[in-house]
Structure 1
Amino acid sequence: MKRFFKILFLGFALMLETTQISEAAECDFDCTLQQHLNAIEKRDYPAFEKTLTKGKNLTLILPNGHFSESAEQFRAMMKEWFADQSWKLQYRLVSKQKSVDMASALLLVSYDEKDEHGKLHHLDYYLNLIFKKEGSHWALVHDQNTLIAKR
């Protein structure tokens, strides 16, 4: 009887794991975008990293014009940023575009960060996120931040 319950339990666990894997694999663009943004809000780097390309190139353009195409550098920079507790951001989705294998989201971001002296700095900028279909998953391949000039 113990063997029966053990087999039943293992079968149930396998079915649950397969369902979770299937749900993750079937996450569409909107789902992936929401996971990406939720991870930023929660400073959850492991969840954030799951939304990134597995490739070597991930374009990053910062508001100050800094440019990088290295996925490795992107990950290192983001990991450090997520560990920093001195910032907060709010965003509003401006638009989304999607084709069969590419999708983008344009966000209007309000960003606040304290410097090493505790002085608050504020930025308003557009954040353009471009995702590419990689197998059955959507993955970030381009992150561009464009500063909005103060009037």
Structure 2
Amino acid sequence: MNIITDHHVHSEFSGDCNTPIDDVVKRAIELGLKEVMFTDHQDFDYPSDEICFEINIEEYVEKIKKLREKYKEIDILMGIEIGYQPDLNDKINNLLNSHPFDFVICSIHAWNDIELDTGDLFKGKTQEEGYREYFENLKYCVEHFDNCDVY
């Protein structure tokens, strides 16, 4: 039996999404899904104030718990998408080790006050230099951080 699921779902708990988490669960049930996994963003020290990528983690955990009690016909999994930065390794691990996450995505959205989605990575650099810096950071992450399920 194949189970179709998406392990990269955001809700209003992520700064880049305004979809109520309840609506996502209801739609997943309508679609006949057996499970839904939330992996809302947690980026400590994100360099922009335009979007907040820090979850109110206690509220998030409590909301998932209530949804699990309310909707018995679907498995509701609590994940998180961590925005990895090397200098935040201990802070990230403390968060991940203090909550029962079902799934952890490790992403690199920023470092050294650079947002990757703005193109700032390439300012004052060649394209090759920018990509090299990105892949060197990714390599460091893979070598020094293993508290996740997928990069």
TM range (shorter): under 0.3
TM-score by length of 1: 0.23
- Higher-strand-fraction structure: 1
